Structure 1
Amino acid sequence: MPLIKSSTNGPDMQSAVVLHLGDLRREAERLEADAIARANRIVDEAKQERERLIADADALGHTSGQERGYAEGFEKGRSEGHAEAVQQAQQDAKTMLEAWQQALDGFEQARENMLHDARADMLRLAALVAEKVTRRVVELDQALVTRQLEGALELVQRPTRLIICIHPDDRASAEEVLPTLLQRLHHATHAQLHDDPALARGSVFIRTEHGIIDASIDTQIARLVEALLPQRHLATPPDSDTDSAPTQ
């Protein structure tokens, strides 16, 4: 067995062992540093995760609280809003019904007024038409003054003097029948014809010692209109004058 000399176990061997131990130390320090770094990183990550979880929990709680509060508020608001809406709708319906009733009452009153005015207008129109037709008939009926004169003379109840006013265009007809009429009437002691252009054709206006007998066409038409339209005045044609007595 060979003998190893001491020179072989010299400084080089010692140095090799020392170098190997230094590597181990450095490796151990590196591993320790890595372990510390990993531990710190794990701690930091744990802290971050904790903060994230807390934040998420807070956000979730806030959201949940909002949702719950919204749901509760919505339900409360819905109930209150529904009650208010029903009350408002009832009030609006009542107001609308009152307005409709007022409008209906006003329409009914206006309708009655319109019908009343329409009837009055129709009567006025009928009276005007009757007056126009009557005046036209008077112009065409030459014998009308004869009938008017006869009717007026029959109203004389006592002996008296007569002034008979007629339209000038009716004088010929009146003179023709007057003697015969006077013979039939014993109350007329004297009769005088008087032309009055203010009278309408066919009119007779008699003055006596005791009063007057108005058988003028205008007066008869006015009385007819007054009977049809009491308290209403019909426009009097320009050529008639029912308010004043015939001129002499």
Structure 2
Amino acid sequence: MSDNKEFKPIRAADAVDLVSWDLPQMSGPVSVGLQQKAGSEVTVVEEVLAAEKITVAELEEIRENARIEGLAAGLEEGRLKGIEEGRQQGQQEGYDAGYAEGLAKSDDDLKRAQSLLGQLVLEFENPLNTSASMLEACLLELVVSMSESVVQAELTERKGLLLDSIRDSLRMIPEPLGRVIIKVHPDDRAYLEPLLQVPGVAAELIPDPQVQVGGYLLEAENTIVKHEVEERFAEAVAQLKANMLTQADQGDE
């Protein structure tokens, strides 16, 4: 073969032996290569499925089983739904009840707080008057207690006071005195012996534990004189408190 690759034109006279070439036809079998393998014939076999025969009893049994399964599933679903709805309802009712109870308790606490606040306001409005009244009452009780202690001490230590009181009572009894009975506390009898030597007086001293120390009960023919220290002291205290109350009312006016 020549190495010259240049194309040379062919004369028309030299082209009488050429055969034209047409494109292959793709509609029929195509031959490729030198050898061809015959294709195997494909046969389609239709398989006939025989329908299974079901009796009426079996069909009813299937329906019954399906119904039972559906019933069980429905019951379970209904139970779960009922539990959830019941829980939600109970939770709501519990919330409402708790809210109402808490609201009522809050109202009670608020009313109690308002009452206490009102009392505090009243106390702060007149603090000086309240303090003065309390101080006055305390001082009065202190004076009464000290006075009672002083009186008891005087009657215990100075028995002459009891003797002078009995003599004054005898002078006030109208004549004739007649027989006179004097009941005194057993601790006071020894100090009253001089009464037995009073001229014209038939006095009889009788010890009586029910008579208080410093007191006496004098019984004459037509006269009874009762001298109880506590009763006389209580009368004096009551009179003192009444006088102080009157003065306080006059001061307010």
Q: TM-score range by the shorter chain?
A: 0.3 to 0.5
TM-score (norm: length of structure 2): 0.42
Larger helix proportion of the pair: 1
TM-score (norm: length of structure 1): 0.42
Larger radius of gyration: 2
